Each structure stands twice: as C-alpha cells, then as structure tokens.
Amino acid sequence: MTKKQISLLIFISIFVTFNIKAQELKTIGEIHNAYKNKIINAEQLTLLYIKRIKELNPQYNAVISIEPTALKQARVLDNLAERGLWAGPLHGIPVLLKDNIETIGTLPTTAGSLALKNNVTNNDAFVVKKLRSAGAIILGKTNLSEWANFRSSFSSSGWSGIAGQTNNAHDITRSPWGSSSGSAVAIALNLAPVALGTETDGSITSPASVNGIYAIKPSMGQVSRSGSIPLSSSQDSIGPMTHSLNDALTVLSVIQGIDRLDPSTTNFKLKPAIIKNKQPLIIGVLPSDKFTVETQKVYAKQIQALKAAGHILVNIIITDNLDTLLADEYYILLYDFKNEINQYLKNTPKEVTVKSLSNLIDFNEKNKEIEMPHFGQNILIQSNAINLDEKRKYRQIKSRYRSVATKAITNLYSNKILDIVIAPTTSPAWKTDLINGDSTKNNSSSLPAIAGTTHITLPVGRVEHLPVGLSIIADINGEYAAYAYAQIIDKVLSKDIKKPE
C-alpha cells in the first residue's frame, strides 16, 4: 500500500469518527471542551474544516485560498496540549481572514484584484500576530467585494476579479452584501468558527446581518489596521465575525491593542465596563421606516419581546441635520483612498507591477474582459482625480463630517437616561444582479462608522428564510457598556425569536 493510500485511509477514518460531532462544534467554548475531553484535536478539526470548504465553497465561493501551513499550525498546538500547555484564549481555533489582511507565507493578499495576484508580502498584519499569539490557526483567506467595494457605484457586493461572485449563505441567488462578504458567508456555513472582516462603512455589519451571524465593528483606535490594504484610515476598522456574541468579544479582546504602526491606537486603554447596577435597561429605539416593511415587522416583534422581558423602550429620533454627511464622507474616502493606496502599492513586492492608482486604472482597462465584465471603475477614476494638495479643504470637510456624526450620536444619549440604542442593521438580502449592481443601500452603519463608535449586530430575526440583524450602537467611548448590554439583549431575543438555521 502506498503512502498516499495510507494517508487516504487515515483521513477517511478521522472523517467517519469525528465528522458528525465536528459539525456540531461552532463556538470557541464548544471546541475547547471537545479538545479537553479528547473528542477531537486541532489537526483533526482543521482537516474537517478544509474538507467542508472544499465541499461547499464551489457553490458559495466564500473562500479564496486555504493556508498551506494550517495543519502544521494545528499539529504544533496539539503537541502543546499533549504536554498540558495551552497557547491562549484561541488555542486551536481556525480563523479565516478577509483577503485584504496580510499574512506570513506564500498566500498573496489581493483585495480581490487580479492586479495583486502576486502580492505575497510575507508579513503578518498586527491582528494576525495577535491571533497567532493567542493560539489561533490561520486557515485561509476569504473572498470580498473587490477593493473593499470601492471600485464602482454599480458593483455587485461579493464580486471580485480574483474569485468571482460570493453567494448568500441562506439563498445562493441573493447578495452576501458588504465587502466582508466571504467572511460572513464562511461563518454562516460553518467553514470556520471565526473570521475577520474589515469595514469602512457597513462592510462588517451588513454582510453579518444578511447572513445571520454575530459581528462587531470596533470603535476607532481599538484595533490596528497595519498590515491590511487601506481604503480610508479615517474610517477603516477590523473586526470579528462569529457564531456567538461571546466569541466575538473574545476575539476582539485578543486583536485589540496599541500598535506603533497605527497612530489611531496610541491612546488605546483597556477599560472596564461601567454598567449601571440596575434592571431594567432603558433602550433607545431608532425608527425603522427606511427599511422594508417586513423588516419593520421583525423589529416591532423584537421591541415587544424586550418589553415583555421587563426592559423600558423609548422611541428616539436623530434631530441633527445630516444633509451633508454622506457627501462629505464620500469626499474623504476618495481623498484617503488615493493617498493611501498609492502609498500601499508603492511598497508592494517587485512581482506586483501596479505601483499606483493610475497604474491600477490602466491595468483594469487593459484587462477589462476579466476585471470588468460586469461593472466598471468609476469610483477609482473619481478618486484618482482628487487633488491631494487641497489639504485645507480635506481638513475642513473631515472636521465637519466627524463633528456632525459624533454630535448626532452624542445627542441620542444626551439626556443620560438611555443605556443603549438599537436599530435594524439592514433589510434582507436582495437578488444578486450583475447587470445593475446592488439594489439597496439601507443600513444603520454610517453614523458609528464616521463617528468611530462601536457597532454590534445580532442575528436575532428573519424575514421568511432570510436573516435580518439588530444593531447595537454605542455612545462615544461607550463600547464596554455596549458589550454588556448587547449580551442582555441577545439573551432575550435569541430565546424569543427563532434565529436563521
């Protein structure tokens, strides 16, 4: 019998023995209990996730690549466990990364673009270093909306030149939304227990909502962005996507911290949650009229469930003038992207021939049959047209839009009565349309994205077979209270409202 045949028999034996139980393992706690009780080890679990990816990924297109060293990483951790040692809070937990987050090794970091197919930086992003130090296994890279959905106004979320269209985990004919689409779909399909996404405005929370998973968009300065492909340092964030809120909080606690390469983190301090020692919660309820009628009905049920649990619900509205907010945001993103992507591309390995935004636009045009078969690159062109010498204009607009968003959130909490604010995260996923692009933009992401506050989404409702999330929007510097209140709300609604399968 050949070595290959022996390996195949071993694999089949492992699969038969552990497959049923492994598919029941989703949370960090469940996996760690299985490890400690010798039900399965990290290598066996990682092998099963790889097999599951190979089985399901052709239909959903969530994962771009599998890390070649994943099983080796797992074996190292199993050897530690055999000696009675534990690597950290994520010991033996496989993690998928959005493919704009760099890793050591042979995998490129592409942002979904064929222009970066050779972008092997052999560098671990700050968050990846933190994951490894906590015992995580880097399992692979997930598909995304190319260039974090900042290429075309008519894009289809989840499409990239590298990997094509990612499909919603609950209905393959529907959009996965947001640029962190592959990460969200992968978690919903249990291709991994943890994934990281990135967000500039809605790219973590929206795909999490329409795929029925937990996710946190952290407050600005909690998590370093160094080692990730930028869109806008004014708003970019990296956050966890998981099967439970507790897991998301655990992963966030691992990846946060001070990084000298990201100035936004230099004032970071780990703070205890300041929780009012009282029940019930006083919850501010933002209106839902901009969402679909069926989403409004789900939201109304959630509100009633919270009332039935004894909490006080207070209807609130945003009274601030937000007329200029989104236009200002778009200018800032255009400016930041040109400035920061030029710098990033300039420092890519020599195998990457595209060294500037202008080069990228030319590359896409020369390769339009494979890079632009469905939509163009009007956003890249608009960004390239920005005059980076207009620094005074940039500073004025940035100051204005940040102030407007911050005041809007501060004013919601200004009476000091509310403990937390909720809203629908977004409406259900629409039909994927590669001809016309995405058909809806409604979400609750912009204020916390621009103000830099924490935004949590909980998978506690659905419209027919499609998930819709509930947003927890933190006050300025109110992230730790939001974590605690989100757990209380999740406990009520996860019992009262059936979650997506």
**Cα–Cα distance, 283 to 160 (Å, whole number):** 39
Give the chain's length.
501
Candidates 142, 232, 247, 241; CA nearest to 196 is 241
- Respond yes or no: is residue 98 known to be catalytic: yes
**Cα–Cα distance, 201 to 448 (Å, whole number):** 8
Peptide bond between residue 424 and the one before it cis (omega within 30 degrees of 0): no
Q: Which helix (H) or strand (E) holds 172?
A: none
SS3 259: coil
Q: Tell me whether strands 159-160 and 164-165 are parallel, antiparallel or unpaired.
A: antiparallel
The CA–CA distances, whole Å, from 371 to 149, 341, 360, 384 equal: 14, 18, 11, 18
φ, ψ for residue 360, nearest 5 deg = -65, -45
Orientation of helix 245-255 relative to helix 479-496, angle to 10°: 160
The pair of three-digit structure tokens given for residue 338, joined into one six-digit string = 């040109």
Query: Choosing from 113, 155, 179, 237, which is the catalytic residue?
Result: 179
Query: Choosing from 156, 175, 181, 203, which is the catalytic residue?
Result: 203
Backbone conformation region of residue 12, classed left if phi is above 0, alpha if psi is from -120 to 50, else beta: alpha
Q: Tell me whether strands 94-98 and 194-199 are parallel, antiparallel or unpaired.
A: parallel
- Respond yes or no: is residue 431 known to be catalytic: no
- Respond yes or no: is residue 203 known to be catalytic: yes
Candidates 361, 348, 389, 362; CA nearest to 230 is 348
Query: Choosing from 98, 129, 130, 398, which is the catalytic residue?
Result: 98
* DSSP summary character for residue 421: E
Residues 6+ apart with CB under 8 A from 240: 194, 195, 196, 197, 215, 216, 247, 248, 251, 252, 255
Q: Tell me whether strands 282-285 and 312-315 are parallel, antiparallel or unpaired.
A: parallel
SS3 223: strand
Active-site amino acid positions? 98, 179, 203
